[in-house]
Structure 1
């Protein structure tokens, strides 16, 4: 899959549809059943877990920013609204994913997450960058620009 197209599964019939990123705001319809495709899900972070991480992050057709967090972490709570803003701003070009490390210890262990918030930028199944701490939005956008480049 090329970076200029997304694969969206129809919520009605389950068919997989290739949608050009340039047309994501045109209310795309399923090629099989003609129902509208669920593009609104691209405007908010995706919750990932140990059992969905590889599929949602490592096999994603677009770059992913993964926010590893915990509910008791103050800086994690502070960065939450920034992740929501980034999901809207980069809709169709970058997936934002959130992983609760308390509930999903396997991924935390696999990637040696020892402090939170920790964020990963993933492209084509590879971790491009690891960011630690509640970074300012501008700094995150600078890192995102490198990946989307």
Structure 2
């Protein structure tokens, strides 16, 4: 068994979690925040990049904007999906208004858009609001292994 690398959504610290340790109880060694708290964190460019590049846990990104009605409508479903998918998958949110360069780099043409990353690479992408059950099903269909 190998350790998992998980990036803290609060400070960007990279944490090594032994497989046998409960990830739901783990805290960041740098800032003390819970590693997984069942809520997708809204992250900026630096933590987004670290999540994709350094985490050995798959990362699901919801690209959204505050003015987007479907984005706001999907937010509670994304929260529910986080409680079901964590700690196997990290769920984060990226505000496309605040992070326009990253949204452009990702080729975002419509929101909400969810992108699933694993091993530093994009594995799947979908656009449009979904209920929690569809989010969970979509992620599970596209997870490697």
TM-score band w.r.t. shorter chain: 0.7 to 0.9
RMSD of aligned residue pairs (Cα, Å): 3.0
1:38 to 1:6, Cα distance in 2 relative to 1, 3 A? farther
Go from structure 1 to structure 2 and tell me whether the alpha carbon gap of 1:28 and 1:142 turns closer, same or farther (over 3 Å shift).
closer
Q: Does 1:79 align with 2:74?
A: yes
1:99 aligns with 2:94: yes
Structure 2 length normalisation: TM-score? 0.79
Larger-gyration structure (1/2): 1
Tell me the matched-pair count. 139
Q: Specify the SS of the correspondent of 2:110.
A: coil
CA contact (8 A) 1:117 1:133 kept: yes
Extract unaligned runs of 5+ from structure 1: none
Matches within 5 A, 1:1-149: 2=2, 5-7=4-6, 16-20=15-19, 23-25=22-24, 27-28=25-26, 38-39=33-34, 41-146=36-141, 147=143, 149=145
Unaligned runs of 5+ in 2: none
Answer yes or no: is the 8 Å Cα contact 2:66–2:72 preserved in 1: yes
